Amino acid sequence: MNRATFFQGVGVALIAAIVGEVVFSALTLLLGSYSALQLVIATLSLCYILYLLRSSEVRLGRVVTISMWLLVTLLTLWLSPHLLLTVTIHSLMIWLVRALYLHNSLLTALADLGLAVLAVSAALWATLQTGSLAMALWCYFLIQALFVFIPSTLTPPRTAPTVENDHFEQARRAAQAALRKLSASN
């Protein structure tokens, strides 16, 4: 396990922005801009999910997770919805992987959902302001890198019970007292 850090997330954002722009430029010549953009989004989504799975301690269900990603991606590509819907679907898949593999409570998963919405909003804003795919990807994945600051759970860590508050210890002392009384009466 290699626990994700913010600086790793910044590196992932930089690589995703550069590689995404280069691959988009190459695929646009072959497929056209819409299909190229869909493939870039799907590929970066898969790479980011693999990065998240690598940084998780949970090993169970990884094949199912990748299989579900593949099924949803193929349906999304086949139905060819609006591009914003494609981005939203892939963002929700990324959020779902983080919620299932990195968070232990509903509140932290909902906080992460807010972060995913913020990331899509930042990418949309960057696209409208600059028209650059690289800038949109940079903003999106830079916001996504903030997930490491969301705790896995919001409950305080449990401390070992003190001797006075430990129910087992109280029962043990009561049993010893009862045994002393029985042995003293004989």
The pLDDT tens digits for 96-129 are: 999 999 888 899 999 999 999 999 999 999 999 9
Q: Which residue, 35, 45, 57, is CA-closest to 12?
A: 45
Q: Which residue, 118, 109, 20, 8, is CA-closest to 52?
A: 8
The pLDDT tens digits for 40-84 are: 999 999 999 999 999 888 888 999 999 999 999 999 988 877 899
